[in-house]
């Protein structure tokens, strides 16, 4: 099966500060410019209908990776294939008019901030249709007003947003309703890939449960693929087939949700799992704790594991070479000592 989305050795580096001036360069002060390595050597395939969870702490590059996939940012290196077409080569500012734009849609993190306060719910959902919606090929004409209206109402029905609420402005809607508007906007163009960036983090548990059911249902009915960004591992486990754990720009572990949750191999994943509540006052398991702050992503040592400073089982080898995931197995881990669980103490 050909993957819907395929990333191959994608890097994103942001230059920091000013470039050395002409004089500095002329006089031999050729200190290279500092680079912030936000995303480093990320490769993965997302198959049609599949849902991948992307987890990691804030600042690890999740959002940068999402922006690379949605083509809001240009890659520094590497290839992005969507439907076997190279979309990584299209400059970000041209991608807005690219044919694949409508196929990749996103539900943003904050349901309030991501809606235009001067648009009604109807206009929010209609906006992508008016900009990118087109009649089927070969005519490919812009959608008529009637067609837009019909599609908006259909999308509202799909997310169980009462049609009566379409005339309202965001401030007149509850958090759960605003999120439904955001999801309806995301699916209005009938995309193949929906990127969900922490969709439920701003909601109470009672509303969150409804939204999680809705997302699972939409995926089943519309055959969508999800890239689900979250910090809540319990939510990822419910909604995703596979999970990727990101740490300082690198995917340190990936695999089927059950496998990773049952036996996390990377020490960072283990710490993440240990931080998740077991919801059992009697569970007396010892917890792995991360002390210190993460290393700086600015000009990191290319020959040292990114997790080295916080790792509880670091060895000599870990600061002499960068561990990478092996490409063959289903459950991949970027660690030299993935199986030495019991030597934690």
Partner 1 sequence: MNDEKPLFEVTDLSVKFHTRLGEVAVLDHIHLNVGAGETVAVVGESGSGKSVMAFAALGILDPAGKVTSGSVRFADHDLLTLRKAALDDLRGRELAMIFQAPRTALNPILPVGRQIEDVLARHSDLSRSDRRDAAVAQLASVKITDPAKRYHNFPYELSGGMCQRVMIAIALACKPRLLIADEPTTGLDVTTQVVIMDLIAELAAANGMATLLITHDLGLASDYCARIAVMHAGQILESASARTLFKSPRHPYTARLFAATPRPGATLESLTSIPGQLPDLRQPQPPCRFSTRCERVQPGCTEPGLVLTPMPTDSAHLLACRNPL
If one asks whether residue 212 binds partner 1 (CB under 8 A), the answer comes out as: yes
- Residue from 124, 218, 235, 248 that binds partner 1 (CB under 8 A)? 235
Is the CB of 36 or the CB of 238 nearer to partner 1? 238
Q: Across the strands, what pairs with 142?
A: 134
Is the CB of 70 or the CB of 208 nearer to partner 1? 208
Is the CB of 57 or the CB of 100 nearer to partner 1? 57
CA distance 10 to 78: 4
Site for partner 1 in 181-210 (CB under 8 A): 204-210
* Nearest-approach distance from CB 233 to partner 1, in angstroms: 7
- Residue from 292, 326, 342, 343 that binds partner 1 (CB under 8 A)? 292
Determine which helix (DSSP H) or strand (DSSP E) holds 52, and give its type and residue range.
strand 51-55
Give whole-number Cα distances, 122 to 109, 159, 178, 188, 194, in Å.
20, 13, 12, 11, 20
Is the CB of 244 or the CB of 290 nearer to partner 1? 290
Give whole-number Cα distances, 288 to 243, 263, 333, 341, in Å.
20, 14, 18, 11
- Residue from 238, 259, 263, 304 that binds partner 1 (CB under 8 A)? 238
Place of tokens 């409508």: 102
Over the window 241 to 280, marking each residue x when it contacts partner 1 by CB under 8 A and - when it does not, the resulting string is: ------------------------------xx-xxxxxxx
CA distance 287 to 234: 17
Is the CB of 140 or the CB of 279 nearer to partner 1? 279
If one asks whether residue 6 binds partner 1 (CB under 8 A), the answer comes out as: no
Is the CB of 84 or the CB of 282 nearer to partner 1? 282
Segments in the chain forming alpha helices (H): 22-26, 62-69, 92-95, 121-132, 145-158, 175-187, 205-222, 233-239, 257-262, 267-275
* Binding-site ranges for partner 1 (CB under 8 A): 57-58, 174, 204-210, 212-213, 216, 231-235, 237-239, 271-272, 274-282, 287, 289-293
């Amino acid at each position: 099966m050909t993957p819907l989305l395929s990333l191959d050795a994608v890097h994103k580096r942001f230059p920091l500060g000013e470039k050395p001036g002409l004089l500095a360069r002329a006089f031999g002060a050729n200190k290279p410019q500092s680079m912030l390595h936000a995303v480093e050597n990320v490769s993965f395939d997302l198959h049609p209908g599949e849902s991948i969870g992307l987890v990691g702490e804030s600042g690890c590059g999740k959002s940068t990776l999402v922006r690379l996939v949605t083509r809001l940012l240009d890659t520094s290196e590497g290839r992005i294939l969507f439907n076997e077409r190279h979309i990584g080569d299209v400059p970000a500012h041209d991608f807005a008019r690219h044919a694949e734009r409508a196929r990749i849609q996103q539900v943003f993190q904050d349901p309030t901030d991501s809606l235009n306060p001067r648009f009604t719910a109807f206009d929010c959902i209609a906006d992508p249709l008016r900009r990118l919606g087109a009649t089927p090929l070969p005519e490919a004409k812009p959608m008529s007003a009637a067609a837009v209206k019909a599609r908006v109402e259909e999308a509202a029905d799909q997310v169980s947003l009462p049609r009566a609420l379409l005339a309202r402005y965001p401030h007149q809607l509850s958090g759960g309703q605003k999120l439904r508007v955001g999801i309806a906007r995301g699916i209005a163009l009938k995309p193949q890939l929906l990127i969900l960036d922490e969709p439920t983090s701003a909601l109470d548990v009672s509303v969150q449960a409804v939204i999680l059911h809705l997302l699972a249902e939409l995926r089943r009915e519309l055959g969508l693929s999800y890239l689900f960004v979250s910090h809540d591992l319990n939510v990822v486990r419910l909604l995703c087939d596979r999970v990727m754990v990101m740490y300082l720009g690198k995917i340190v572990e990936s695999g089927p949700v059950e496998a990773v949750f049952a036996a996390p191999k990377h020490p960072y994943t283990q710490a993440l799992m240990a931080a998740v509540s077991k919801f059992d006052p009697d569970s007396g398991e010892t917890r792995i704790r991360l002390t210190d702050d993460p290393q700086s992503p600015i000009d990191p040592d290319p020959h040292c594991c990114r997790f080295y400073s916080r790792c509880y089982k670091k060895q000599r080898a870990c600061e002499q070479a960068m561990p990478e995931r092996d490409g063959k197995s289903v459950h991949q881990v970027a660690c030299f000592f993935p199986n030495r669980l019991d030597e934690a103490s």
